[in-house]
Structure 1
Amino acid sequence: RHDDLPNCNKIIMYAENASAKGYKVYTVKKAENFYQTSSEIKINEKERQNKFFNIKLDDNGNIISSYDKLNEREVLKNNQKGNVLQAFEDKPHNFDAWNINIYYQEKMWEINEVEKIEVLETGPVRGALKVKKKFLDSTIEQIIYVYNDIPRIDFNNKIDWKEKQILLKVAFPVDIHADKATYEIQFGNIERPTHWNTSWDYARFEVPAHKWADLSEGGYGVSLLNDSKYGYDIKDLVMRLTLLKSAIYPNEEADKEIHEFVYSLYPHKGDWKDGNTVKMAYNLNCPMYAKIEGPHDGVLPERFSLLNVDKENVIVETVKKAEESDDIIVRLYEYQNKREKVTLTLFKEIKDVIECDLMENEINKIDFEGNSFKFEIKPYEIKTFKIKF
């Protein structure tokens, strides 16, 4: 998306086959006549539909049905609603801004006071529906996006929060049979039970996580993604994400401001590995940057990639300048519990490659050939290389 085109408000497009860690040039031309591309997006105040989903809303803006067309099944539990905003009284014994006590769940209110539901976009690339809600002195604006080419439902939120000691969550009761959920942590993931059968389970009622949490059964799963929220709880197959915590200590006005963030529902075939949940979460958190240029000559190619790896389960997490030299640091990790022989290819000839630790202390030299080198990576291992050109 770009909002600064001359003589145009905005352009929205699906950037297909873009280069990893690089760029791709797309040419925008003014059409002589209006041209409608092929799209299955249909949207009104009560229903949103594309080639992936058929989503129905009730009068309160909650989802009463989310049918997955590709996998021919309902995502939500029977007769239960999704994208339900839940407010809880949050008064921990100590450390108000840090702690959540388990008894917060004893007082809960669903936020159902709707001020307005309106259609914002019905274009060929995406459709958008805006839901505005009121809770006490706060207002919640949510734009729900569905896409023609992305099998994901995005919920873009703008919340003007005025409350104190109220915890805000969103809930999705999903039709998945699983006794464990998977959560992303830095450079990996962890599993936690979806029940409280032991005192250990009971104590872990909130799980700190990064970009996603997933609940999968044999052959199908649902991931809940986010761009800036790090508290989940999944119990009795209800997936919840913590959105706001308005503490009064040490700052009495904490969180009393405008909050903007995104979370997404991503149903998929197979488990989180088969469904590429990790990459979908990266796509949400690291969108492409659009740069508009007029026609001009240049020496750069129309498509360029700084570097790439040949294994799907290895992520290039960091590319940066070394702390004490002009060399380039590349940090990678494996996220599917696999051992792999990996080839890393760069954009130009290499002069030297040294494996380092996280502090960039040198460990050993790596053999290379031309603009690439090979290495072995263990399950969930982090690898750091210092590269000289």
Structure 2
Amino acid sequence: MVSETALENEFLRAEFDPATGWLRSLVNKETGVDVVAGAAGDTHTQICDDPTDTWGHRVISYAWEGAPMAVDRIAVRQSGALRASIRIERSWGRSMLVEEFILGHDARALRVEVTLDWREQAHLLKLRFPTALTDPKATYEIPYGELERPVDGAEEPAQSWVDLTGTIDGVPAGLTVVATDKHGWDVSPGDSAGDIGPSIGITAVRSPVYSWHDPRLLDESGIYSFQDQGIQRFRYELVPHAGDHRAAQPARRAIELGQRVRAMLESFHEGPLGPEGSFADDGHGSVLVTAIKGSEDAVDAPGGAELIVRAVETRGESVDVTIELPLVGRTIEATFEPYRIRTFRVPREGDIVELDLLELPLDA
């Protein structure tokens, strides 16, 4: 179902405030919990002066109050059996932000395609995701793992996702924001009056002078280049969930969001391949295959280069896994401890050997 103010499928219902252009409701229909109910919607876009230098020296937080972008247009873009979408267009100064909210027929997350045309100087734009959570904790993705940090508004790095989990009316709930190409985040506790709830923020753009190191003074008559100017595109997903964010598999979602499916056109011809196939199958569980490549030192081996397979456990649990490699007719069976990275050399025949990250045998 789609209208100019709502998107809905079997698992999610998203309602938009036409005045602010942001969510006034995001219901996880499997739990009945609305993760943003009552949160202040006009805080989604925050533009403010940014007098700091290129690297933000001595800046602890960019969770500053800012002006919202004006909503110019809301329109239904797609209304089909497979997915529906709403486009919301905003502007501020000489800049424009377009967010297209997309809900697939079987999606458990709300995907957003973003186009930002940024023309401001010495300003920054925060995209903020306010929630209705109580007593939340914040979890940030780091390379091959995750890390809990304070809910204090400090600017922190994150690989591809940040989660905020707490309770709503005593029921465990949370919101994970998964994003591409953005690595400066904050998780803020909200205001003391309770008008704004805890929120996740993404630093979408900053436009200080390029390669300017404070305290060097700028010449008022000088001509400078400012960062982040022009058009850029990125994507993010809003993933409401019950108490455990790991059940939503944010690490796997981040890979799928950041690496679009590639289609390869092929002419009609006879061949052994069926209508579908797989290079590798990790079972879609907590262990994620992150790399498949030819080995560096076995190009002269019988049958050609051996296969290198690297995988990591993403949910902080010990698990036995079977990784199928239909392309070479081999199977890896292994035990992964929490967040462990393991690398295997897979020949066409013979024993599968575990390696270190330099592709040297562990027992060497």
Which category describes the TM-score, using the shorter chain as reference length? 0.7 to 0.9
**Contact 2:140/2:158 (<8 A) preserved:** yes
Could you say what secondary structure the match of 1:109 adopts? coil
Distance 1:374 1:121, change over 3 A: closer
**Contact 2:85/2:101 (<8 A) preserved:** yes
Distance 1:211 1:68, change over 3 A: same
Distance 1:79 1:225, change over 3 A: closer
Residues 331-358 of structure 1 deviation map (CA, whole Å, 9 limit, x = unaligned): 11112222233333322557xxxxxxxx
Q: 1:163 aligns with which of 97, 107, 120?
A: 120
Aligned to 2:229: 256
Aligned-pair distance for 1:282? 2.3
Distance 1:106 1:331, change over 3 A: closer
**Residue 202 (structure 2) pairs with residue 241 (structure 1):** yes
Q: 1:80 aligns with which of 40, 64, 83?
A: 40
**Contact 2:126/2:202 (<8 A) preserved:** yes
**Contact 1:159/1:260 (<8 A) preserved:** yes
Q: Distance in 2 between matches of 1:71 and 1:133?
A: 32
**Contact 1:54/1:69 (<8 A) preserved:** no
Distance 1:266 1:99, change over 3 A: farther
Q: 1:385 aligns with which of 344, 355, 358?
A: 344
TM-score, normalised via structure 1 length: 0.75
Distance 1:79 1:270, change over 3 A: closer
Q: Distance in 1 between matches of 2:21 and 2:45?
A: 10
**Contact 1:133/1:140 (<8 A) preserved:** yes
Aligned-pair distance for 1:295? 4.7
**Contact 1:54/1:68 (<8 A) preserved:** no
**Contact 2:2/2:84 (<8 A) preserved:** yes
Aligned-pair distance for 1:180? 1.9
**Contact 1:117/1:129 (<8 A) preserved:** yes
Q: 1:329 aligns with which of 308, 317, 324?
A: 308
AA partner of residue 271 (structure 1): D
Distance 1:103 1:375, change over 3 A: closer
User: What is the number of equivalent residue pairs in this alignment?
Assistant: 317
Aligned-pair distance for 1:267? 0.6
| Aligned 1:1-389 pairs, distance under 5 A | 41-44=1-4, 46-51=5-10, 52-81=12-41, 84-92=44-52, 95-97=53-55, 99=57, 101-102=59-60, 104-106=62-64, 108-111=66-69, 113-195=70-152, 205-217=154-166, 219-236=172-189, 237-250=198-211, 252-293=225-266, 295-310=268-283, 312-325=285-298, 326-347=305-326, 371-389=330-348
Q: Distance in 2 between matches of 1:107 and 1:273?
A: 31
Residues 60-104 of structure 1 deviation map (CA, whole Å, 9 limit, x = unaligned): 312222233232121214252177111122222xx4245472465
AA partner of residue 116 (structure 1): R
AA partner of residue 153 (structure 1): L
Distance 1:153 1:106, change over 3 A: closer
**Contact 1:76/1:82 (<8 A) preserved:** no
Aligned-pair distance for 1:239? 1.2
Gaps of 5+ in 2: 190-197, 212-223, 299-304, 349-364
**Contact 1:82/1:171 (<8 A) preserved:** no
Distance 1:343 1:246, change over 3 A: same
Q: Distance in 2 between matches of 1:349 and 1:84?
A: 49
Q: Distance in 2 between matches of 1:103 and 1:378?
A: 35
AA partner of residue 343 (structure 2): T
Residues 31-64 of structure 1 deviation map (CA, whole Å, 9 limit, x = unaligned): xxxxxxxxxx2222x2333332141222231222
**Contact 1:181/1:216 (<8 A) preserved:** yes
Distance 1:288 1:105, change over 3 A: closer
TM-score, normalised via structure 2 length: 0.79
Q: Distance in 1 between matches of 2:61 and 2:279?
A: 50
Distance 1:328 1:178, change over 3 A: farther
**Contact 2:39/2:130 (<8 A) preserved:** no
AA partner of residue 335 (structure 2): E
Aligned-pair distance for 1:383? 0.9
Aligned-pair distance for 1:135? 0.9
Residues 258-310 of structure 1 deviation map (CA, whole Å, 9 limit, x = unaligned): 11111111112331112222222222122322334465432212221222335
Q: Distance in 1 between matches of 2:160 and 2:64?
A: 28
Could you say what secondary structure the match of 1:274 adopts? helix
AA partner of residue 88 (structure 1): C
Distance 1:177 1:265, change over 3 A: same
Distance 1:195 1:214, change over 3 A: same
AA partner of residue 313 (structure 2): E
Q: Percent identity?
A: 25
**Contact 1:311/1:342 (<8 A) preserved:** no
